Chains A and B, each alone.
Chain A
Amino acid sequence: MPSNYPGFEYDADRETVSAAKVKALESLLIEKGVITGQTVDTVLSHFESKMGPFNGAKLVARAWVDPDFKARLLADCNAACEELGFPTGMSGAEGEHMRIAENTPEVHNVIVCSLCSCYPWPTLGLPPYWFKDPTFRARVAREPRVVLSEFGVELDDSVEIRIWDTSAQIRWWVLPMRPEGTENMSEEELAALLTPEAMMGVATVKG
């Protein structure tokens, strides 16, 4: 249940008041010619069909099957996106300067935005609730192993954890390790194994 932060009090009509207020705001902005009656839906449908974790999954799957592509993805994420023939927009809003960090048996990467919720929109879409919650942002900065174990990722102390805190305008994401036993899978099947969490570094990919 995400809506209550422990220790605080909330009105019983909390959600209906917010729902009415945002509807009032949107309707006034439409009437006054700030936005149109379709603007908000236009934005939302963009994240359903064009900017989402399905893009990141395709890029990771390609990197798993093509070592040369992986090298280019690690060297210049935006150029590699363009190369795969994605629709325009892979260098669009919140993806102008993306970089990807590679997980290996020796190194495990996790992204965080300790000041807000910076996130690579073109490859991962919009950030899940837990990533925006101050609890994650506070705790992963100091005790990432404990946090990862709460997510179900147990790492040996010999694995170096790298935290990528995005306070400037580079947008980081994670290239997870390809799971064992997937040698015969197609690129499409491999892409289907990926979750946003795996590409943020708080999950491993299961074959």
Chain B
Amino acid sequence: MKLQHNIGGIENLDPINFETRVFVEPWEERIFGIHTAMMALSNHLGDSLPDYKIDQVPTEFKSFWTWGHLRMGAESLNPFEYFRLRYYEKWLGGISGFFVEEGYITQAELDERTSQYLAEYSQADATLADLPKGGNMGIDEQVMKYLEEGDSPLRPSDMTPKFSAGDRVKVKNVQPGDHTRLPGHLRGKAAEVVKVYEDAFTYFFPTADGLGSPMPVYSLAFQAKDIWLEDLTDPNMVYYNDIFEVYIEAL
């Protein structure tokens, strides 16, 4: 069991930190941009609904990278590290580790370059090195195209959804494995199907708990009292969750 899959409902936390900025340190926007470019250049986009000529894009990036890959990294952290690290710190660790593991860069290269920049930061009068310039603009054209056209997970399907609006269902308690889209606090809980989304949704790659091949997705409504002990929750609240079919069964 992973704490990262079971965040919902934890007690004794602090008041909300009402920080409305997206990036709280200037460096954070750079790792966001790198991650978004990786999604835009991912080798699976050749099979995407938009017409991406991904094998003709002049990038050296040849890997498969989606949100699921990024999330899996955060879910594999020591749970205390997950809380200790800020949002984009987790991204920086996961993404730099990915580029090393996949052989795009070596750990030694990364460490050496990091030390060089750190040394510049520590000298008050140092001139900071610029980032390299140039590169093939065909890369950025694909990144822009991805931002505008996306990567819809919707797939045409002749599957008949197992459940209909109004049905009472129960969330399964499946083994989550390395990565899940099933929030821990909903496991084993009863709910009502309020909407069956049209067609079927892929998750782009298979997960140990059954996502991957296109399947129906439902909007479920949980009564708060069916999730939480009554004296631990607020009155008059309904909890909605969009959920993949593999995670639910008839009640």
Contact B84 A3 (CB under 8 A): no
A46 at the interface (CB under 8 A from B): yes
> Quick one: which of A2, A18, A134, A159 contacts B83, CB cutoff 8 A?
A134
Q: Is B174 an interface residue (CB 8 A)?
A: no
Does B209 have its Cβ within 8 Å of any Cβ on chain A? no
Which residues of the other chain, B, contact A36 by a CB distance below 8 angstroms? Answer: 134-137, 139-140
Q: Is residue B127 within 8 Å, beta carbon to beta carbon, of the partner chain?
A: no
Q: Are A33 and B59 in contact (CB under 8 A)?
A: yes
Contact among B14, B27, B59, B197 for A22, CB-based, below 8 A: B27
B residues near A142, Cβ cutoff 8 Å = 8-9, 185, 227-228, 232-234
Residues of B in contact (CB 8 Å), total 106
Say how far B148's CB is from chain A's closest CB, in angstroms: 4
Any B CB within 8 A of the CB of A68:
no
Query: Closest CB of chain B to A156's CB: distance in Å?
Result: 9
Does B135 lie within 8 Å of A150, measured CB to CB? no
Assess whether B25 is in contact with A26, with CB atoms less than 8 Å apart.
no
* B36, A143: Cβ atoms closer than 8 Å: no
Q: Is B10 an interface residue (CB 8 A)?
A: yes
The residue among A10, A137, A167 with the most chain B CB atoms within 10 A of its own CB is A167
Interface flag for B104 (CB, 8 Å): yes
Q: Give the CA-CA distance A93 to B24 in the complex, in Å.
A: 23
Task: Find out whether the CB atom of A43 lies under 8 angstroms from the CB atom of B17.
Answer: no
Q: Give A contacts to B, CB under 8 Å.
A: 2-3, 5-6, 8, 10, 13, 15-44, 46, 50-51, 87-89, 91-97, 114-117, 125-130, 132-139, 141-147, 150-151, 157-170, 196-197
The 6 closest A-B pairs by CB, nearest first: A36-B135, A40-B33, A24-B113, A141-B8, A89-B148, A20-B117
